């Protein structure tokens, strides 16, 4: 650590902004910024902006891009190229240009978007432009002091572990960040190694999004959408998409502005009800039927639905269930359809899918795994039906191999309008689903533990559960345990092999059909606990969920020493 600090302080060409910040550091600041290298996971990296090896800056970006560039060159494809997009965050354009410089200096052609661009459009553009890979600079819905870097393969899918491991190995072998030479952006552009992506990709992408409609000629006369991009990248395309498909749309004007500080919200995350406060104010004023919010890089989407005088925020699991039922009822498939979810997604969507004779495949958390499975369906007797995660990520058609809030925006508008014409709100539809399939209550607990000490506590908590051998604890009757790090399922004193890749995740199944999962966040300093319950009544489901939460949190707090 000390060696790295000295290197940074003595580097004569250090970026002036980073130098000033470094000079103001306290001893604790130095430790947090240099105690480790910023982790490069299976989808890229994400971290706090600033100087240091554990921070997002142009120098950590150089090493990451050098490693990714080596991966691209190892594909041995003729004329390798990479598409690069970026969001509205602090330094996103700078990091995009820095990425372009590193790759182009290595002889890889770069196709760079010239404006903020939704992550799903980047995924689409990789295949549309026949590129070898893709990069998007984003930290999704993290706080304003974060930024991140996600990398894609030639099918527009984030790198799965075996491919990401190649990049990680190459980063480990990369020269010191201060020794990676890069040519100027202007000279590389002049030589043709950097090319700007024109607006035709926007139109091509939106045309594909429009193709997901089931009832394109729906009567939309008395239906109104309030839309907010939460200061993010769908500000340009979201409103355009709704207008071009015939929907009346009221934009939340204050949040249509690309703002890296997300000034009008405490958190730019559509999972949080507070993110809808301004949109709901607009909705009440204009008597809108639905509010739709997308996160800053436009891969996640949340909705608030007008119902009996109030605006009700639906969860990702609830929205997914409604969309699955609508598609299963009304969309025609050419082949046997496959629904994709994850091991922490509510079982409700899968129950609906199976009723309509669809296959269901559950993956690890992370849309890259859904994208990987979608690719495997090509040229088979089955076809992609729908993919989703509980964390507000959906894809209807796999021309995008990532979460796509623009597809979800259009489909949710259609579904809400369709049922309004029948005199129903989406809350009414959800109630009908519960009456048929049971009352599912799915709950997520976020345990925030920041810094080096927080990372250690998360490791201690997960290690306890990995090593825990009891069949019952805290009064919860465990019937099975799945440990994805060991890739084993334990049930009735027998051990079976799990087929999914290794992951630091533990899932417990209880005797009443409930389950809970523990896993670290891959993008934030958090540990997540997922709880899923189904009973014959809403009251009983909520009660049981609270009971499980109380018992699990008592144990976690004990491990934390609280």
Helix residue ranges per DSSP H, 421-562: 426-437, 451-467, 538-560
Question: Nearest Cα to 108, choosing from 151, 137, 146, 147?
Answer: 151
Helix residue ranges, H only, 193-306: 200-210, 238-244, 277-286
d(Cα 233, Cα 256) in Å, to the nearest integer? 9
- 501 Cα distance to chain centroid: 19
Closest CA to 75 of 150, 157, 131, 158: 131
- DSSP helix/strand/coil, 103: helix
Alpha-carbon dihedral sign for residues 157, 344, 290, 524? negative
Task: Work out the number of other CB atoms within 10 angstroms of the CB of residue 332.
Answer: 5
**Which sign does the torsion angle of CA 291, 294, 299, 300 carry?**
negative
CB atoms within 10 A of CB 519: 22
Active site residue 140: yes
∠167-169-175 over CA atoms, to 5°? 95
Pairwise CA distance, residues 295 & 290, whole Å: 17
Q: Please, which residues have CB within 8 angstroms of residue 423's CB and are 6 or more apart in sequence?
A: none
Chain-centre distance of CA 79, in angstroms? 30
| Rounded-to-integer distance, Cα 488 and Cα 189, Å | 51
State how far the Cα of 71 lies from the Cα of 165, in Å rounded to an integer. 10
Residues comprising the chain, all counted: 562
Going by DSSP bridges, is the β-strand pair 472-473/494-497 parallel, antiparallel, or unpaired?
Answer: unpaired
Angle (CA) 449-453-455 rounded to 5° is 60
State the catalytic residue, choosing from 92, 99, 123, 140: 140
Q: How far is CA 233 from CA 89, 394, 419, in A?
A: 10, 17, 29
User: Could you tell me if 71 and 170 are in contact, meaning their C-beta atoms sit under 8 angstroms apart?
Assistant: yes
Cβ distance 441 to 533 under 8 Å? yes
Q: How far is CA 173 from the centre of its chain?
A: 29
The b-or-e profile of 401-433 (16+ CB within 10 A means b, else e) is: bbbbbbbbbbbbbbbbbbbbeeeebbbbbbeeb
Q: Checking DSSP bridges between strand 146-152 and strand 81-86, what pairing results, if any? A: unpaired
Q: Is the dihedral of CA 434, 435, 437, 438 positive or negative?
A: positive
Q: Which residues are designated catalytic?
A: 140
């Amino acid at each position: 650590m000390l060696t790295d600090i000295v290197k940074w302080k003595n580097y004569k060409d250090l970026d002036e902004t980073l130098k000033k910040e470094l000079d103001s550091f306290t001893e604790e600041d130095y430790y947090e910024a240099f105690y480790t290298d910023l982790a490069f996971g299976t989808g890229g990296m994400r971290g706090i902006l600033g100087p240091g090896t554990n921070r997002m800056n142009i120098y950590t970006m150089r090493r990451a891009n050098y490693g990714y560039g080596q991966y691209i060159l190892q594909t041995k494809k003729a004329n390798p190229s990479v598409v690069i997009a970026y969001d509205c965050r602090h330094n996103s354009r700078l990091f995009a240009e820095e990425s372009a410089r590193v790759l182009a200096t290595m002889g890889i052609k770069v196709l760079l978007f010239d404006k903020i661009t939704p992550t799903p459009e980047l995924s689409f553009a990789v295949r549309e432009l026949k590129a070898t890979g893709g990069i998007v600079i984003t930290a999704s819905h993290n706080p304003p002091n974060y930024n991140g870097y996600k990398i894609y393969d030639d099918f527009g899918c984030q790198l799965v572990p075996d491919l990401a491991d190649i990049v990680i190995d190459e980063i480990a072998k990369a020269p010191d960040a201060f020794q990676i030479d890069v040519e100027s952006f202007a000279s590389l552009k002049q030589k043709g190694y950097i090319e700007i992506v024109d607006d035709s990709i926007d139109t091509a992408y939106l045309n594909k999004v429009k193709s997901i409609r089931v009832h394109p000629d729906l009567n939309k006369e008395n239906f109104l959408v309030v839309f907010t991009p939460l200061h993010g990248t769908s500000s340009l395309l979201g409103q355009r998409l709704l207008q071009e498909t015939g929907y009346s749309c009221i934009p939340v004007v204050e949040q249509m502005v690309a703002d890296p500080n997300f000034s009008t919200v405490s958190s730019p995350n559509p999972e949080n009800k507070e993110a809808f406060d301004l949109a709901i104010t607009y909705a009440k004023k204009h008597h809108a039927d639905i509010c739709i919010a997308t996160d800053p890089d436009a891969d996640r989407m949340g909705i608030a639905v007008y119902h009996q005088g109030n605006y009700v925020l639906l969860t990702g699991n609830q929205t997914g269930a409604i969309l699955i039922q609508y598609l299963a009822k009304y969309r025609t498939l050419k082949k046997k359809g496959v629904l994709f979810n994850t091991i922490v997604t509510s079982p409700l969507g899968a129950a609906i899918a199976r009723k309509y004779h669809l296959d269901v495949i559950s993956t690890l958390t992370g849309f890259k795994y859904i994208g990987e499975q979608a690719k495997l369906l090509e040229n088979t007797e089955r076809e992609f039906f729908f993919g989703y995660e509980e964390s507000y990520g959906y894809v209807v058609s796999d021309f995008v191999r990532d979460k796509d809030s623009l597809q979800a925006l259009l489909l949710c508008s259609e579904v809400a309008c369709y049922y309004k014409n029948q005199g129903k709100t989406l809350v009414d539809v959800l109630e009908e689903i519960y009456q048929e399939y049971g009352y599912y209550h799915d709950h997520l607990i976020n345990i925030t533990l920041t810094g080096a000490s927080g990372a250690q506590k998360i490791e201690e908590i997960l290690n306890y559960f990995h090593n825990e051998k009891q069949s019952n604890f805290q009064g919860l009757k465990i019937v099975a345990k799945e440990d994805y790090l060991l890739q084993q399922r334990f049930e009735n004193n027998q051990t079976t092999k799990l087929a999914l890749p290794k992951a630091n995740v533990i899932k417990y199944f209880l005797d009443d059909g409930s389950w809970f999962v523990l896993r670290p966040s891959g993008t934030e300093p958090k540990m997540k606990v997922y709880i899923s319950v189904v009973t014959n009544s809403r009251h009983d489901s909520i009660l049981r969920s609270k009971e499980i939460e109380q018992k699990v949190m008592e144990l976690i707090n004990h491990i934390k020493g609280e």
